[in-house]
Structure 1
């Protein structure tokens, strides 16, 4: 008899009504609308849906964080391993469901790996001998033996994610719920984390419910999927759900384009169908130009916009950037790639002038940004950090835009106009932190662009964005490059890189190990190659294949 680990029965949830400017309240639309599904024991289920669909809300409802800590109105029944969620606190449910949020550091309560792993066991009153045994088993299971005595702050992003999973597992839960666990990880670190989850499902029978926007990383591990869209949930086998989903990895889009049955959801399945399509587009490629532009207009005719020579960044005991040279011109679209800790963010902050620079020189349009006042610096180089909200301080979108106009010396309404060009439907009276991920990123980008910097730097801008959101961002950044900006993006997102970049610079241990045309660099690396390249060598996006087939509108 199959045992259901997670059960939702007719669950409806809406956040509290939102106040309006007239002092009235507007009833909030339900985030979850009569949701019912059941996940059996030992299932790896992928939760998919557009940005802002309510995936995080559904995940937090599994252990009662919603509505207990968020407020709102909930109806229906939720059970985990037979235990009723509505009548228990999240602490009461710790032994049946573990929750891992988007930011592991935000959930840690101690400073060291072993202490963090033992904390939950201590709170549950587990005997010291049993606790030591359990912690040791988790350390071995997750491959943390070499870091068990280290401070959490010294770990890589992938190691922190594994510690967060381990802390949730110490209580021996039947289900593990994870919200975008690979969003901040490079491809290799993401594979490490997902392999651990796969092992938990198959070796220990843990039920895993995971939400992730970078579906191309996860689909090979999942057994089934839930599609959340418009408050409704559709459940079923992975291929069937993704075939109907508005967000799907490129391999599914390619399968739809080619009419492959299924469609296939993994590279292996797609390659088995690809021989005919490969022959067709190889023939067409002899007469049809590739649609991905790897050239830089007039690059050889203009002087460099950015000249960085021997840039070095040191932190106590660590050389994050080791003498990097980087030259870039207007119109270039550069992707900075490399493993977590390779020095990408440190380099970007050093180029912008706000970050520490231990050595070397940086010139943007002939000026060193580090020697300028903050206002002047923003007119040379604008940087949108990995957390776009870090740039946003005002109480409303309108106030943010007004502040950006004043700080950038721009005419009144300039920032609001840029925001309207970037994204539709943003209420100027909304608090910036109430916006969706895509809207918040657009606002931070508009604030940055108001000062009209020729060099635009973005650090991991695709976190929290679904595939349509990333495609829209790539189109906007291309338009900015065509308008004369130089755009540099630090990213682990290989699919976004395929859509956006004309040039790729790969860092490792603070040094440049590869620098060249995007297609050439990504195609040569199994780690950085997009899905379409792995199926159809020489082609990088579904749109490019559609264009080669004369089906641009698909």
Structure 2
């Protein structure tokens, strides 16, 4: 179905090829997982499948990419639209109509499909993806998982033989991610669609993959069955890492396979108290933010219902819950920029004890609470990193008299080596996040709020983010991370607060809260349950002790 024949791609501004001598064949009806760290060429590989590379990206493509008998060098994307469907990271960015039914029909309208055929395909797609009850709903009213299914359906109605998905679960809660992946596997198994998925959260996808295309970073593409490729790859989900540590063969790809192999491991760990999941846990200080009765409504619909919350200095709190549970609305209400119909927020600071950010000018509110939104680049508007940092210093200096650390120094502490002359939008996702965080920290707020910071980050970048969060806690800041990433929470958070329909339904220490729910439990916890382990590092530390073995 897809053939890469000695393919190399060289961009004009790079001396080395992004892809080098790629010789890979993907068969019809395969679910193929594309893995690798950020910047190794995954997007280039996916773009070559529908002709975006090189027709729109520029650069030079050597060799041949053939999709269903069509050479992409001689067929631009518009001539491949009936064969290849592409769904990006953010489904809202790709929507062009108002309702579910209209969006499903749009692609067929562009391909001049007869109306009778269009109606039949829309009905089939609604049933296939479980969207029949939502056919007349406005797209903006849908949950993240529903939007992602509509995005897939909007390209599926054209009856493509190949589906390309770029991080389809990155913004979804665990339950919504399972719904989307279940729909994708039905396409593979029932309709024979060939699916290419690029995803950083491998723990969600790997068990469904027939083949893995791993990009190690030198331009090559390593192709093979998942268990073989992950044995030596630089990136792997926790369940595979656990298999490596325990010495299991073949490596498990699912929780079910791992639990079957883990009985001796559980027996060996049963008599040992695991080391803490967070190696360094700062001492928690006094309460720095107190919220009482916070209520947020959007167009009259409650998003946050009379929530009370206290945040302490040096504590990292993970804010979890399904898409639409009110997490982002709560963060914006705490920061003061978002709507808040009722309730109070008091933040203790050297210059303003008990002040409410909502009642202060924006410059003063930044001194109390710093917020990094889901799309960090929304706060970047200048032409270079140096200009962004200088502007942050100018805006922060008058109000934050006690904060003498320049934004440049903060950025170097977070991610060293970012060149000041580079345009902010040319940075990696992790660097963009660090830049925005440095801009916010220039005002020295005692409370730092991060909304979905792991979205788009690979495992290495998430380890760096964990170090950043640990550093903020050691400085005595109260940190809140709204996230769906249970593996990140297991390593980085002291406390977990779970929201549902605008209410707080759970609040407690991380091990207690996330292991109490099968939805939020990390992979290691599921494998070794009922033992209180959360991360591979905890298991590895115990196995490294004298006389221990898996």
Taking structure 1 as the reference length, the TM-score comes to 0.94
* Residue 289 of structure 1, CA deviation: 4.5
CA contact under 8 A between 1:294 and 1:503: conserved in structure 2? no
515-524 vs 7-16, which deviates more? 7-16
Alignment of 1:226-245 (within 5 A): 226-230=213-217, 231-245=219-233
Whether 1:389 aligns to 2:377 is: yes
Q: Is 1:460 aligned to 2:452, yes or no? A: yes
Gaps of 5+ in 2: 349-353
- Summarize the Cα distance change of 1:447–1:161 in structure 2 as closer, same or farther, 3 Å threshold: same
Could you tell me whether the CA contact under 8 Å between 1:308 and 1:324 is conserved in 2? yes
Alignment of 1:19-98 (within 5 A): 27-98=14-85
Select the residue among 394, 405, 412 that pairs with 2:393.
Answer: 405
**Number of residues of Structure 1 aligned to a counterpart in Structure 2:** 534
Mapping of 1:200-349 within 5 angstroms?
200-230=187-217, 231-285=219-273, 289-292=275-278, 297-299=283-285, 302=286, 304-349=287-332
Report the alpha carbon displacement of residue 425 of structure 1 after superposing the two structures with TM.
2.8
Query: What whole-Å deviation, never above 9, does each CA across 1:19-55 have from its counterpart, x for those lacking one?
Result: xxxxxxxx44322122221100000010000112121
**Superposition RMSD in Å:** 1.6
Q: Tell me whether 1:353 sits opposite 2:336 in the alignment.
A: yes
* CA–CA separation in structure 2 for the residues paired with 1:312 and 1:92: 51
CA distance in 2, matches of 1:512, 1:551: 40
Deviation, structure 1 residue 229: 2.3
2 CA distance for matches of 1:413 and 1:52? 31
CA offsets 1:148-197 (integer angstroms, 9 cap, x no match): 11111111111111111011111111110000000000000000000000
- Name the CA distance, whole Å, in 2 between partners of 1:90 and 1:228: 24
Match of 1:15 in 2: 11
Give 2:351's aligned residue.
none
Alpha carbons of structure 1 residues 115 and 308: separation in structure 2 relative to 1, 3 Å: same
**1:291 CA displacement:** 4.5
Selected match of 1:440 from 418, 432, 437: 432
- In the alignment, the residues of structure 1 paired with residue 301 and residue 46 of structure 2 have an alpha-carbon distance, to the nearest angstrom, of 38
Separation in 2, partners of 1:233, 1:551: 37
Counterpart mapping for 1:95-106 below 5 A = 95-106=82-93
Secondary structure of the structure 2 residue equivalent to 1:305: strand
Q: What secondary structure sits across from 1:45 in the alignment? A: strand
CA distance in 1: counterparts of 2:25 and 2:436, whole angstroms: 39
> Distance in 2 between the 1:289 and 1:179 partners?
37
Is residue 284–residue 315 contact of structure 2 (8 Å, CA) maintained in 1? no
Aligned residue for 1:219, secondary structure, equals helix
SS at match of 1:246: coil
- In 1, are the aligned partners of 2:277 and 2:534 still within 8 Å (CA)? no
Distance of aligned partners of 1:386 and 1:28 in 2 relative to their CA distance in 1, 3 Å threshold: farther
Q: CA deviation at 1:207?
A: 0.4
Q: Does 1:516 align with 2:508?
A: yes
Q: CA deviation at 1:413?
A: 7.4
Q: 2:174 matched to which residue of 1?
A: 187
Q: CA deviation at 1:284?
A: 2.6
CA–CA distance in structure 2, aligned partners of residues 12 and 246 of structure 1: 22
1:530 to 516, 522, 536: 522
In the alignment, the residues of structure 2 paired with residue 467 and residue 180 of structure 1 have an alpha-carbon distance, to the nearest angstrom, of 14
Helix, strand or coil for the counterpart of 2:305?
strand
Shift of 1:146: 0.7
Q: TM-score, normalised by structure 2?
A: 0.94
For residue 15 of structure 1, report the CA deviation from its aligned partner. Answer: 2.6
Contact kept in structure 1, 2:5 and 2:63, CA below 8 Å: yes
CA separation in 2, counterparts of 1:33 and 1:406? 46
Contact 1:502 1:517 in 2 (8 A): yes
State the distance in 2 between where 1:57 and 1:289 align.
Answer: 42
Deviates more, 1:341-350 or 1:145-154: 145-154
Q: Tell me which stretches of 4 or more aligned residues in structure 1 moved more than 3 Å.
A: 288-296, 410-413
Are the aligned partners of 2:277 and 2:535 in contact in 1 as well (CA < 8 Å)?
Answer: no
Q: For residues 294 and 190 of structure 1, what CA distance do their matches in structure 2 show?
A: 31
In the other structure, the counterpart of 2:103 is: 116
Is the contact between residue 404 and residue 447 of structure 1 (CA under 8 Å) also seen in structure 2? yes
Cα offset for 1:298? 4.4
Unpaired segments of 5 or more residues in structure 1? 18-26
Secondary structure of the residue aligned to 1:328 is strand
